[in-house]
Amino acid sequence: MTKSELISALSDKAEVSKKDADTTLNAFLDIVTDTLKKGGEVALTGFGTFLVKKRAARMGRNPQTGESIKIKAATVPKFKAGKNLKESVK
């Protein structure tokens, strides 16, 4: 599902205009992004949690040459699915 398809589905489900659905979705994405930038997390009970994890530096391998390379430490966004979401997808 693309963002425009999600906006259409949100518009139909919530019975609001596509413009309002677009504004709401963009606001949600901005809030989640800003919260993660600050190192926080967004927990939606039953659905899941958006959080930030620190990934340690490690050694990797270039698949083309087989040469060992050093991969830098990084901070990455993660999503942990909640119980209700996991059960509904089974």
What per-residue confidence (pLDDT) applies to 68? 95
What per-residue confidence (pLDDT) applies to 59? 95
For the record, the structure tokens of 32 come out as 């989640």
Nearest one of 63, 62, 80 to 71, comparing CA atoms: 62
- Please, what are the domains in the chain? 3-83 (4.10.520.10)
Place of tokens 């709401």: 24
Strand 68-71 with 58-61, pairing: antiparallel
For the record, the structure tokens of 36 come out as 């993660």
CA distances from 34 to 28, 41, 71, 82, 90 (A): 10, 10, 26, 22, 32
* Cβ contact 73:55 at 8 Å: yes
pLDDT per residue as tens digits for the range 15-45: 999 999 999 999 999 999 999 999 999 999 9
For the record, the structure tokens of 15 come out as 């019975």
Q: pLDDT at residue 90 above 90? A: no
What share of the chain in percent tops pLDDT 70? 100
Q: pLDDT at residue 9 above 90? A: yes
| pTM strictly above 0.85 | no
